[in-house]
Structure 1
Amino acid sequence: MAVVRDLRVLLRFQGFRRLLAVRLLSQGADGVFQVALASYVVFSPERQTSAAAIASAMAVLLLPYSLVGPFAGILLDRWRRRQVFLYGNLLRALMAAVTALLVLGRVPDWLLFVSALCVTGVNRFVLAGLSAALPRVVDGERLVIANSLSPTAGTLAATAGGGLAFAVRLVVADSDAAVVLVGAVLYLSAALASLRIAKELLGPEPALLRPRLSTALAGAVRDLRAGLRHLAAPPRREAAWALTAMSLMRFCYGAMLVLLLML
């Protein structure tokens, strides 16, 4: 198969192999953590979960993509990406362990959601850094293939992590806290795997001139506003309608999912 052949070629690059290991461990841990959070919030009989609690759990998982995503690149251009993987996964391991303690302590939902939001918020930086680092570990000829296969492998790892979470509950311990701790161990493993990558290998370029952080953040906000104005202009109304339709579709999908879980 062409996919297997392409992957075999990419795995000859030592930097790609090590970066892929970080991705697989990191996104596998994401799958474990997300299933544990959903199980605790949605499927705990003693909690008598409401629709608002389910919607809050979904927001915790998805909100960082909307709020952090537009600004992640600005910070990644200032931090060594290897260090983002190291400290980001260490922080997520710590916060996942804290989340496990909160699950055991039966704390109010808002406190649990804040802890979980910290884990998923850091995840946005890690995923963006993994994509930004790819050009540093493969050559230009194979970059498109790497950009295709690497995120796909990460999605498969997240799915496998979800399966691992169910297996832990069935075989080891019927406890959401235990599953969260498994996720914490995988985050720690991802942090340790990142140490095999040279600190300077993944960039960014130290000599690259960058604007001040405040200036860059303000520029990102201006660009977002300019994009909205661009879509609002009469010649581009078709694109605005397409984005509106997609947003409504995703909203209805979320509402139906919450309804299905409640049933």
Structure 2
Amino acid sequence: MRIPAFIRYWTASATGSLGTALSTVAIQVLVVEVLVATPAEVGVVNAARVLPYALFGVFAGVLIDRVRRKPLLVWSNAAQAVVLLAIPTLWLTDMLSLLMVAGVLFVVGALSVLEVAARQSFIPRLVPRSALLSANARIDQGDTVALTSGPALGGGLVALVGAPLTVLVDAVTCVLGAVMNARVRVDEPALPRRPSAPSDVVRDIADGVAFVYRHRTVAPHAVSTHVWFAGNAVAVTAFAPFALREMGLGAVAYGILLAFTGVGGLIGSLLAVRAGRRLGAGGAMVLGVVVAPVAWGATALSPPTMLGVIALGAAQLVAGFGMGVENANSLGYRQAVTPDEMQGRMNATIRSVNRTCAVVGALTGGLVAQLLGLRSALWVAVALFVVATAVVLCSPLRSARHHAGTD
């Protein structure tokens, strides 16, 4: 936090996370309550935002390793603001539909492909590699404060002005993020001109994929993360209709419930550096993933009573804690062991497959919820979280340590 460029970057990240937290509540309420979507339709809408990662993600990685990363951050933020304006505009003109919402989320997701890959690949240019764990922990802390306050604030805004207009606030935060990223002062190295024929692009993609899945510790980390994203997509798809319909929560109560995830995430991110230094990167990742099946199993068992609502809050707290501990350690570790010229492709490859798994998970979660019920979908998520934990426990990753070299 003594590095001015990092402070501006951190501010943009936290601001964007607040907007995302607001619009997450708004869009879920919009889809479930206003547009009266079925669980399967909720799955389709959730999949629309992450589908671009499956389609364009690896190409984004090649681009990020060929151009300066700061301009991509600025323009992707600004473009997302413009696209998000379509939801309140369509609503005000009485043209909003599930298909329109899915279309807007798809375009926002396509822009996020560039933004997120550039953002994660940009951090090693702002701080020394020895500070990557701390830098990612600080980012997580800002993000989780936003995640804590955002859902509750989002639920209140939805109750006050309606879900479509609440999305406007997310658009504003995208603009603020673009401004802050534009003010980041960093000397990005001049990049040599590289051939751009289709065969060269394919070769670059292949190099990135080979690096990820041949690395003795990055490979199991990637596979565990892929399975986790599938499980989380199943869980999130089932959770909104489960909380709003089966548990009978309103928009405000639902927002407060999601805020518990942020509280847990903040606690986890505050302890992430200590956990990483004491347990090692691998041990901290194990701690982060092992709590997920516990939290979502408790969710699946919660009865539609006040006691059940309290159990949901506790489960979200535990789930958030796991994500807070694991995220900074996994990001800091894989950034440290990856050469700078491979950062974009490494991040894009992992995130692309993650989001592809999330698309499959969202569609599967919606289908299982539609055919077998919401609780059955939650149990499918629990099973996937168990597999994600087992991958880490049965690999060399469990004993990985944080350092600045390659593993």
Q: Same fold (TM over 0.5)?
A: yes
1:243: how far off? 8.5
How do residues 134-173 of structure 1 correspond to structure 2 at under 5 angstroms?
134-170=123-159, 173=160
**Residue equivalent to 2:3:** 13
Task: Report deviation, 1:129.
Answer: 1.5
Shift, 1:55, TM fit: 0.8
TM-score w.r.t. the length of structure 2 is 0.51
Runs of 4+ aligned structure 1 residues displaced above 6 Å come to 224-230, 241-245
Is residue 2:123 matched to residue 1:122?
Answer: no
Alpha carbons of structure 1 residues 246 and 38: separation in structure 2 relative to 1, 3 Å: closer
2:197 equivalent to 1:207: no
Residues 10-33 of structure 1: CA deviation (Å, up to 9, x unaligned): x11111101111111122222222
**In 2: Cα distance, 1:154 partner to 1:77 partner:** 26
Q: Which amino acid aligns with 2:165?
A: A
Q: Do the aligned partners of residues 191 and 224 (structure 1) sit closer, same or farther apart at CA in structure 2, a change above 3 Å counting?
A: closer
Distance 1:41 1:115 in 2: 13
Distance apart, 1:229 and its partner CA: 10
Q: Structure 1 residues 215, 24: CA separation in 2 closer, same or farther (over 3 Å shift)?
A: farther
1:172-251 equivalent positions in 2, closer than 5 A: 173-198=160-185, 201=186, 203=188, 205-212=189-196, 214-219=198-203, 222=206, 249=231
Paired with 1:101 and 1:139, the residues of 2 have a C-alpha distance of 44
- Aligned partners of 1:202 and 1:133: how far apart in 2? 11
2:84 to 82, 93, 96: 96
Unaligned runs of 5+ in 1: 1-10, 231-237
| Aligned amino acid, residue 40 of structure 1 | L
Q: 1:124 to 1:28 in 2, by over 3 A?
A: farther
CA contact 2:80–2:174 (8 Å) conserved in 1: yes
Alpha carbons of structure 1 residues 33 and 79: separation in structure 2 relative to 1, 3 Å = farther
Uncovered stretches (5+) of structure 2, i.e. residues with no partner: 215-219, 247-407
- How far apart, in 2, do the equivalents of 1:106 and 1:65 lie? 27
Give runs of aligned pairs for residues 60-75 of structure 1, distance below 5 A.
60-75=48-63
Name the aligned partner's letter for residue 218 of structure 1. V
Matched with 1:86 is 74
Q: Say whether the 8 Å CA contact 1:65–1:124 is kept in structure 2.
A: yes
- Given the alignment, which residue of 12, 25, 29 partners 1:22? 12
Q: Percent identity?
A: 21
- The alpha-carbon deviation at position 97 of structure 1 amounts to 0.8
Q: Against the structure 1 CA distance between its residues 259 and 40, is the aligned structure 2 distance closer, same or farther, given a 3 Å change threshold?
A: closer
Q: Secondary structure of 1:43's match?
A: helix
2:242 matches 1:260: yes
8 Å contact kept, 2:39–2:238: no
Paired residues, what number?
Answer: 239
> Which residue identity is paired with 2:77?
N
